[in-house]
């Protein structure tokens, strides 16, 4: 069986010299945030001594694609294929009777800010936010589970505030509960295996259980345990679980909150959350994901959006090979689609379909599959070599935007597509885009014996 815990990966990172233990005492107030910011692309950080708390804090765990791959036990280049397989062959979870995450149980009265070392991230945010909380809920109409992340702000005592985008499944399920005049039971798992975090980000349908995708990523069912006080199941190997309910009738003004473009945004009111029970491991480690324009926050979405979009585009356009969501595009707004010998006009079709499926996308570049979409230099080469501004450019003003887009005006934005692929006839001998190279037989002979030179 695979180790389905976060701590297993922490040990692995430590063995490989990729875990930095911070022994100096740190404050949850901006100090953890500062260290994680300054080392956002560096080794994972384990804060052993947090002022006022017995529980350590781990951060910057999954801040590179290779870390996801390592956590899933695959090679760095295999991440997209693993995601594709998980989407194609999801595996239903397995319910277990006993779980490490329930070793310690706290009932009301609860003070979450005393129990958990939740970092206060950014100056203009009003309070600390739980950023790595995977929220489990059930749609009572269908009995189907939903698993996703939304940041939770500490409001004092057992109260939290959730800022959930209205188009997300969790918000839609909460809205249905509100229509029935009910609260929505939730459970929040903190300190998770990469598969749980990645699975929670997959753009699947309302009613699709993201835990099935987690199983697909793990290659075995994810083990869940029944909660103590709500009718939900949570990852048995998590570090910490909060059990409670979303109260969609109770709104709390959020004020400034950071978002993935790196700016503060003002979304208005969020939904109140009441926590009734906290369970955790005896030696639980609190996981913190640095929010804002930071690699871990951006990559979780990027990998998942890229994987689901690749699948969805390929259903209609088989020439699509891969969708890569770029780091500079904040892991959300810019995509590079690679296609194999697209037919005339097919690149434009892929752009429009991608933007239609993922509303966040604002700039989509299509390249040929001889280009590595992960390499910005090769993508730029494609633009220089294959993109004709007068006919390969799509400018779509006034398209509905995502609320997270830093440039939207009244929630509309201009979207751009750039088609940098070859055309039928390109590359033919004597033509304008025939690649220059030494005679093939000699090049291959030298390649095979290069160590001799």
Ligand X SMILES: Cc1cc2nc3c(=O)[nH]c(=O)nc-3n(C[C@H](O)[C@H](O)[C@H](O)COP(=O)(O)O)c2cc1C
Minimum gap (Å) between residue 204 Cβ and Mn ion: 6
The CA distance from 20 to 30, in Å, is: 19
Q: How far is CA 202 from CA 24, 81, 112, in A?
A: 37, 14, 29
Q: Which does 301 bind (CB under 5 to 8 A by kind): Mn ion, ligand X, none?
A: ligand X
Beta carbons within 10 angstroms of residue 38's beta carbon: 9
Which segment (31-39, 140-148, 183-191, 435-443) binds Mn ion by CB under 5 A?
A: 140-148
CB nearest Mn ion: which residue?
169
Picked from Mn ion, ligand X, none, the partner binding residue 382 (CB below 5 to 8 A depending on kind) is none
Using CB under 5 A, pick the residue from 7, 145, 169, 193 that binds Mn ion. Answer: 169
Among 146, 200, 326, 382, binds Mn ion (CB under 5 A): 146
Q: Between 307 and 339, whose beta carbon lies closer to ligand X? A: 307
Q: Print burial letters for 43-64: b (CB count within 10 Å at least 16), e (below 16).
A: bbbbbeebeebebbbbbbbbbb
Closer residue to ligand X, CB minimum distance, 305 or 319: 305
Q: Using CB under 5 A, which of the segments 9-17, 145-153, 156-164, 436-444 binds Mn ion?
A: 145-153
Residue 120 as a binder of Mn ion (CB under 5 A): the answer is no
Q: What is the contact surface with ligand X in residues (CB under 6 A)?
A: 131, 146, 148-151, 163-165, 168-170, 201, 289, 297, 300-301
Give me the half-sphere count of Cα atoms (radius 13 Å) on the Cβ side of residue 376: 6
Return the one option of Mn ion, ligand X, none that residue 289 interacts with (CB less than 5 to 8 A, by type).
ligand X
Number of residues near Mn ion (by CB under 5 A): 2
Which of the listed partners (ligand X, Mn ion, none) does 170 bind, with a CB threshold of 5 to 8 Å by partner kind?
ligand X
* Whole-angstrom distance, CA of residue 276 vs CA of residue 25: 30
Task: Residue 149: name its binding partner from ligand X, Mn ion, none (Cβ under 5 to 8 Å by kind).
Answer: ligand X
Element of type H or E holding 112: helix 112-115
Contacts of 441 (CB under 8 A, 6+ apart): none
Does a cis peptide bond (omega within 30 degrees of 0) precede residue 305?
no
Among ligand X, Mn ion, none, residue 60 binds (CB under 5-8 Å by kind): none
**Binder of residue 163, out of Mn ion, ligand X, none (CB less than 5 to 8 A by kind):** ligand X
Q: Which residue is nearest to ligand X (CB)?
A: 148
Name which of 189 and 420 has its Cβ closer to ligand X.
189
**Cβ atoms of 19 and 10 closer than 8 Å:** yes
Instruction: Fill in the DSSP letter of residue 77.
Output: G
Min dist CB 270 to ligand X, Å, is 9
- Closer residue to ligand X (CB): 57 or 319: 57
Specify burial of residue 389 (Cβ count, 10 A radius: 0-12, 13-18, 19+).
exposed
Q: How far is the CB of 146 from ligand X (least distance, A)?
A: 5
Query: Rounded to a whole number, what is the largest CA-CA distance in the chain?
Result: 80
> Which CB sits closer to Mn ion, 146 or 421?
146
* 302 phi-psi bin (left φ>0, alpha ψ -120 to 50, beta other): alpha
List of residues 6+ apart from 132 with CB closer than 8 A: 149, 190, 191, 192, 197, 287, 288, 289
Beta carbon of residue 59, minimum distance to ligand X (angstroms, whole number): 12
Give residues in contact with Mn ion (CB under 5 A).
146, 169
């Amino acid at each position: 069986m695979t180790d389905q815990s976060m701590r297993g990966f922490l040990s692995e990172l430590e063995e490989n010299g990729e875990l930095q233990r911070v022994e100096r005492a740190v404050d949850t107030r901006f100090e953890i945030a500062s260290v994680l910011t300054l080392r956002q692309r560096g080794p994972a950080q384990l804060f052993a001594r947090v002022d006022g708390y017995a529980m350590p804090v781990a951060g910057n765990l999954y801040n590179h694609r290779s870390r996801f791959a390592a956590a899933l036990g695959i090679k760095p280049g295999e991440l997209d294929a693993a995601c594709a397989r998980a989407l194609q062959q999801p595996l239903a979870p397995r319910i277990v009777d006993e779980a490490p995450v329930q070793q310690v149980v706290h009932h009301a009265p609860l003070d979450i800010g005393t129990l958990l070392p939740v970092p206060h991230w950014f100056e203009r945010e009003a309070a600390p936010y739980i950023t790595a909380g995977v929220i489990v809920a059930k749609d009572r109409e269908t009995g189907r589970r939903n698993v996703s992340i939304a940041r939770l702000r500490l409001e004092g005592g057992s109260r939290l505030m959730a800022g959930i985008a209205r188009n997300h499944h969790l918000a839609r399920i909460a809205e249905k509960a509100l229509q029935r005049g009910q609260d929505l039971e939730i459970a929040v798992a903190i300190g998770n295996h990469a598969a749980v975090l990645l699975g929670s980000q997959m753009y699947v349908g309302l009613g699709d259980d993201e835990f099935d995708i987690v199983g697909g990523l793990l290659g075995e069912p994810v083990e869940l345990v029944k909660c103590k006080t709500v009718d939900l199941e949570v990852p048995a190997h998590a570090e910490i679980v909060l059990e409670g309910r979303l109260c969609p009738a109770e709104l709390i003004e959020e004020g400034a909150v950071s978002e993935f473009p790196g700016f503060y945004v003002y979304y208005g009111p969020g939904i109140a959350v009441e926590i009734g029970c906290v369970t955790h491991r005896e030696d639980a480690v609190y996981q913190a994901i640095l929010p804002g324009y930071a690699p871990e926050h951006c990559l979780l979405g990027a990998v998942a959006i890229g994987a689901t979009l690749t699948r969805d585009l390929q259903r209609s356009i088989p020439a699509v090979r891969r969708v890569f969501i770029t780091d500079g595009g904040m892991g959300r707004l810019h995509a590079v689609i690679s296609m194999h010998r697209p037919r005339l006009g097919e690149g434009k079709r892929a752009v429009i379909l991608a933007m239609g499926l993922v509303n966040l996308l604002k700039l989509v570049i299509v390249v040929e599959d001889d280009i590595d979409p992960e390499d910005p230099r090769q993508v730029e080469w494609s633009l220089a070599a294959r993109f004709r501004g007068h006919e390969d450019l799509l400018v779509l003003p006034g398209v509905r935007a995502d609320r997270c887009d830093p440039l939207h005006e009244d929630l509309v934005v201009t979207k751009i597509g750039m088609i940098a692929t070859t055309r039928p006839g390109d590359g033919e001998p004597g033509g304008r885009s025939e690649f220059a190279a030494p005679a093939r037989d000699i090049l291959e002979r030298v390649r095979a014996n290069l160590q001799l030179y």
